[in-house]
Amino acid sequence: DEDFAAKVKEITGGKLCEVVYDGVGKATFPASLDCIKPLGMFVSFGSASGPIDVFNINILQTKGSLFATRPTLNTYAAKREDLLKIANDLFDVVARGVVKIPVNQKYPLKDAQKAHRDLESRHTTGSSILLP
């Protein structure tokens, strides 16, 4: 229940963020907009709390001429060759350690049902994996 928009203002010294990536959706959308500096970008990539309600587009103007997008992988990788290039670029930076992917939960494959229950009940954070 923390006021994360106020926390962002505090942390940034009131400068706010150029981009906000929001994977929560409905519950965080209004406050996410309050974290973005004028001409900044709101990126919705998930809707864990539900889809964002229909909104009056003029809110983007009143918050500082903001931009908003809901990207999909198919937009960026409509052709197989594009997908392969993106995937290879990602695998390269992971292999070189430029991007680190922390794994917070590991489940034996036999406990897949428990892993699903934990995910559904929000008892996990970050990445979870199943191990053979």
Q: 124: closest CA among 95, 102, 91?
A: 102
Q: Which two structure tokens, joined as six digits, stand for 69?
A: 């997008």
Average pLDDT over every residue of 91-106: 94
Where in the sequence of the chain do the CATH 3.40.50.720 domains occur?
Answer: 4-70
Q: Lowest-confidence range among 55-59, 107-111, 125-129?
A: 125-129
Residue 100 to residue 94: CA distance in whole angstroms:
6
Q: 31: closest CA among 2, 51, 58, 57?
A: 2
What top-level class would CATH report for the domain 4-70?
Answer: alpha beta
Statement: residue 1 has pLDDT above 80: no
